[in-house]
Amino acid sequence: MEDTRRGTVTSLASLFPVEEAQKAANRVQGAMAEKRAELDHLLGFVADNNNLINLVHKLPEELSHEIMVPFGKAAFFPGRLIHTNEFLVLLGEGYYAERTSKQTAEILRRRGKALDSQVDSLEAMIKDLQAEANFFGQTIAEAAEGLVEIREDYIEEDTHGEESKSGPLKQHTSDLEKTEANNEEYTRMVARLDELEKEEELAAESGNDNEIYEQTTEDVGDISYQRHIDSEPHNSEDFHKSVSPVDQSNNKSIATESAEKHHNPDIADQLNFASLDLQSNVGEGKNAAAKKVKFVDHTGKPLIHHEEKTVKATTASKSEVQHQPSQPSFDSHKVCLPFIYIARIHIH
């Protein structure tokens, strides 16, 4: 039952060749090592700064300190450290300032803050590099495993009636619209639709199609829209018989109803426009299904969503019928059904 799906298979190895990914990963590792070395350097400075602040605090505690003074490269001699509160602080660029210990501590603290901000920025850079390295590692592993990327056209399948319908339907609903309110409405509508379908089958066999359709078009409510669409896939005969007059009436009724109901002339224009658009596109068959699903995704308002979908369904089915009258009903069912599924999303 499953059609062969057209699609492209690209192995990840071709997209990201293993050697190149390896090289890139190595490069990132190298950059990370550099940054880490710089970070260590800066952290050393921070530690030195803190030690210096402590020293500067301690020195003024005594009037003079007994120390071993370095003399040349390899000698010391005993001496005394005096003027313990006076510090010549290097400000930078060869400039020194005479300051007390408290003021020196202030200067050092400010320098410490600048160092801290540098450390932070370095750490952020290292984190980014880490993320890059992880990504490369992942792609290397995947490419080595031989993972492939498969892209397929999205095709709905008509296999087992209700259950399969509800399956992709529920998917649609979750993808496209809010799901919570949908499910209640949806179950209600499904029940109603089933009843109506049975009605129409009987009616169609007896040959009163047109009347019923026209009656249903006059009904107020979302259900009317869906009735039209659901009735279509039942029998190809019904389909053929009823489609042309019905669809025209459908289009008109939908257009008018939407205009009345929602007092939004724009929607009617949009619908007509969409239908015109569609008729030029429909010949593409299965791809059309994928396209229309996408188109639906892009529009924002749920109201317009719904109506556009219904119009699309009807016009699509109509032109499908005209273009491919000889095709078995199976195919037309397949093409229409996506729209039906979409149509079942409730509007609110």
Partner 1 sequence: MSSLTSAVRDLQRELENKTNDLSKLQKDIAKNHQVRKKYTVQLGENELVLKELDLLNEDANVYKLIGPVLVKQDLAEANSNVRKRIEYISAELKRLDATVQDLEEKQNSKKDAILKLQQKIQSIQTTKGKA
- The residue ranges that bind partner 1 (CB under 8 A) are 88, 91-99, 107, 110-111, 114
Query: Closest separation between CB of residue 102 and partner 1, Å?
Result: 13
* CA–CA dist 109, 101 (Å, integer): 12
Least Å from the CB of residue 157 to partner 1 = 53
Query: Quick check: 224 and 194 in contact, CB under 8 A?
Result: no
Nearer residue to partner 1 within complex by CB, 36 or 111: 111
Task: For residue 73, give both structure tokens.
Answer: 């490269």
Closest CA to 192 of 340, 30, 344: 344
Nearer to partner 1 among residue 125 and residue 148 (C-beta): 125
The answer to whether 321 touches 336, Cβ cutoff 8 Å, is no
Closest separation between CB of residue 44 and partner 1, Å?
Answer: 18
Cα–Cα distances (Å) from 115 to 89, 96, 111, in that order, read: 18, 20, 6
Task: Dihedral sign for Cα 27, 28, 29, 33, please.
Answer: positive
In the bound state with partner 1, the residue whose beta carbon lies nearer, of 118 and 272, is 118
CB of 38 to partner 1, least distance (A): 14
Instruction: Say how far apart CA 108 and CA 90 lie, in whole Å.
Output: 10
Name the residue nearer to partner 1 (CB basis): 55 or 91: 91
Tokens of 179: 């799901």
Choice between 110 and 301, CB closer to partner 1: 110
106 burial level (CB within 10 Å; 0-12, 13-18, 19+):
middle
The minimum distance between CB 120 and partner 1, in angstroms, equals 17
Separation CA 132–CA 39 (nearest Å): 19
To partner 1, the closest distance from the beta carbon of 90 in angstroms equals 8
Q: Which is nearer to partner 1, 77 or 95 (CB)?
A: 95
